[in-house]
Amino acid sequence: MKRMSKPNRLHKAAILFNFVKLVKEVFFGTIIGFLATFKNIDLGGFWFILLYVSLFIIGAAIISTLQWYRFTYVVEQDQLKIESGIFIKKKRTISFNRIQAIDVSEGIVHRVFKLAKVEVQTAGGDVTSKAEAVLSAISREKAYEWKELLQVKKEIEQELDEEPKEEIVKTISTPRLLLAASTTNGFGVFLSIVALVGSQFGQFIPNPIYEAVYGWMLNLSVPVLIIFSVIGALFLWGTATLGIWIKYSFFTIRKADDGLQLSHGLLEKKHLTLSTNRIQAISVREDLLRQWLGYATVHAEVVGGRLDAKDGGTSVLLFPLLKKTEVESFLEQFVPDYQPEVLQHVLPKRSRKRYLFRVLFPVVLAAIPILYFLPTYSWILIILLVLASLLGVFQYKDSGYTLAGDKLILSSRRISKSTVVMFRKRIQSLTISDHYLQQRESLKTLKCSVAAIGGVGKTFAYKDGDEDQIQELFSWYSFQEK
């Protein structure tokens, strides 16, 4: 990295990023409480809210500016030194030898001012979700200069007699990305968020308008309501599809000497480096629609670093969509140790009724009030019972495992099918449980956990397995050499 002797401040756009962060963390949590009781607030209460918002904006602007002013960094003597803190001054020194990766991302504001956000990951870092250091707004040129110099430094440190490795690159085509976006389960999450926001939005609509619209909808025929519902669902599906397409546009995975390098994004460009020694498990996931079409996605459970954890997930997406026939060659190229194998052990037949019970019981509970209050819609319950039964059968059939030396391949299904590949040395804990009903059938449940982003263990379960199967897995794990 280029040596600097004079402390540097971030670009002034960092003030905006600090301000937005404060608004997200503090403001929304408190103002939503006020708005939830908006109809019960009198004129005095309204002015109080307005005063609170004004004071918060002024205070947040001052704090954001002070945070920017007090944050300085300097590169000297093979070290990155950072000072920060408004009232309590914090000093942090990071040796270049400890830097594992430099992740670079560019949001919309960054790209306008030709800036980038830099997150420094260290080899000795803990398993928290925080990066060792975050510089929210430095010049794009400097960010990529640091990243390139780190790569050159690693190449120089390699042994001279080591044979250079060929770089492997894979990108996703636009038609494949559109298919991935349109078949994702993210639509269900998006629909839930819209429903939650919509349920609270009604209180801000004047009562006369609300009652007029509600009365108009009641007068509509059932076919018209169904048409409106379909149009609304298609609109939400299209919106969710567009969002995912924008997020993962230009998705590229590259295998280099320092691990896997991932980049994607149309509006916000992200460049991530994933060290292979932080991979705890590889999962191949097949959503219902994708499985029917013959496609799957590949994820990595990773310990340490931020990566995509801020997006709400506990794993890193290695590739958005692959044909199932392409999965084996993809893993062979990028993570050759994590090859899945054919399941050798499946659930006993006596486990099937337990899987059916788990999915049918909630439907039966929901059926009681529906039959009592809305008997004309009882036909919907028949459809739900059939769908739940099919789901239970699929969950039973898709569960199984294989032991291959120090490697465990575990398959299961909730809604989507997941095949997980993990090594014994990566498993943090393995637990066995059973209850009275399982004991009568000589069944047990096994759960194994690996470390994941944020240090929160990711758990995979093999439910209602035969006692002998569970004992085999427990013995395999317990007898490992330490």
* pLDDT per residue as tens digits for the range 427-476: 888 899 988 888 899 999 999 988 765 555 688 999 999 999 999 999 99
* Inter-residue contact 418 to 284 (CB < 8 Å): yes
In the structure, what pLDDT confidence band is assigned to residue 392 with cuts at 50, 70 and 90?
Answer: very high
Provide the pLDDT confidence category of residue 161 given band limits of 50, 70 and 90: very low
CA–CA distance, 143 with 128 (Å, rounded to integer): 23
Does position 362 have pLDDT exceeding 80, yes or no?
yes
pLDDT of residue 352: 93
**Better-predicted residue by pLDDT, 17 or 224:** 17
Question: Which alpha helices (DSSP H) does 219-351 contain, by range?
Answer: 222-248, 288-293, 324-334
Start-to-end C-alpha separation, the chain: 39
Query: Is residue 465 a contact partner of residue 445, using CB atoms and an 8 Å limit?
Result: yes
Which of 124-128, 178-182, 326-330, 367-371 is the least confident region? Answer: 124-128
**Can you give the pLDDT at residue 311?**
45
pLDDT at 481: 46
Tell me the average pLDDT of the chain: 81
Position 4 pLDDT exceeds 80: no
Give the dihedral of Cα atoms 397, 184, 421, 248; nearest 10 deg.
Answer: 170
Q: How far is CA 376 from CA 226, 348, 371, 380, 438, in A?
A: 16, 40, 8, 9, 38
**pLDDT at 128 (0 to 100):** 43
Q: What is the structure's pLDDT at 409?
A: 94
Give strand ranges (E) for 386-470. 400-404, 407-413, 417-423, 427-433, 443-450, 458-466
Give the count of beta carbons closer than 10 Å to the beta carbon of residue 205.
12
Is 432 strand, coil or helix? strand
Q: Convert 453-463 to b/e letters by CB count within 10 Å (16 or more is b).
A: bbeebbebbbb
Query: Between residues 303 and 43, which one has the greater pLDDT?
Result: 303
**Residue carrying structure tokens 């990305």:** 177
* Strand-strand pairing, 295-302 and 90-95: unpaired
Give the pLDDT confidence of 25-82 residue by residue, as tens digits: 776 666 555 555 555 555 566 677 778 778 888 998 999 999 999 999 988 877 888 9
In this predicted structure, which of 212-216, 360-364, 373-377, 459-463 has the lowest mean pLDDT?
212-216
Contact 46, 168 (CB under 8 A): no
Kindly give the residue spans of alpha helices, DSSP state H, lying in 158-294.
174-182, 186-201, 207-218, 222-248, 288-293
Q: Give the span between the Cα atoms of 151 and 288, in whole angstroms.
A: 41
Beta bridge partners of 102: 120
Q: Residue 475: name the closest of 434, 442, 437, 432 by CA.
A: 432
Crossing angle of the two packed helices 186-201 and 222-248, in degrees rounded to 10? 120
